[in-house]
């Protein structure tokens, strides 16, 4: 089984009043929800890679973005 990818979902303005319904629809589509930030219309979580694209078709989803991670070398590292 492939490793899940971390996602950030933006809910469109017209569906903010039904935020919890959009979150539930994302869960039904296979997303494991980590955080629900209703005030700003954002949901974070993870999903299997092959299920990422279908999330864009969920009613109320404005944007699907895969999370990126960055690492900075420690201060005492030779790489700066």
Q: Which helix (H) or strand (E) segment is 19 a member of?
A: helix 19-28
**pTM value?**
0.81
pLDDT tens sequence for the chain (80 residues)? 679 999 999 999 999 999 999 999 999 999 999 999 999 999 999 999 999 999 999 999 999 999 877 677 788 877 75
Tokens for 44?
Answer: 């974070």
20 contact partners, CB below 8 Å, separation of at least 6: 36, 38
* Cα–Cα distance measured from residue 17 to residue 53, given in angstroms and rounded to the nearest whole number: 24
Q: Supply the CATH number for residue 28's domain.
A: 3.30.70.260
Please name which of 1, 3, 50, 59 lies closest in space to residue 26, comparing C-alpha atoms.
59
Any domain includes 55:
yes
Any domain includes 31:
yes
Any domain includes 34:
yes
CB of 26 within 8 A of CB of 9?
yes
């Amino acid at each position: 089984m492939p490793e899940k990818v971390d996602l950030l979902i933006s809910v469109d303005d017209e569906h903010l009043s039904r935020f919890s319904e959009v979150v539930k629809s994302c869960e039904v589509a296979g997303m494991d929800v980590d955080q629900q930030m209703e005030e700003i219309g954002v949901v974070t979580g993870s999903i299997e890679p092959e299920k990422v694209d279908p999330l864009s078709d969920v009613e109320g989803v404005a944007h699907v973005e895969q999370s990126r991670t960055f690492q900075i070398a420690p201060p005492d590292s030779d790489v700066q």
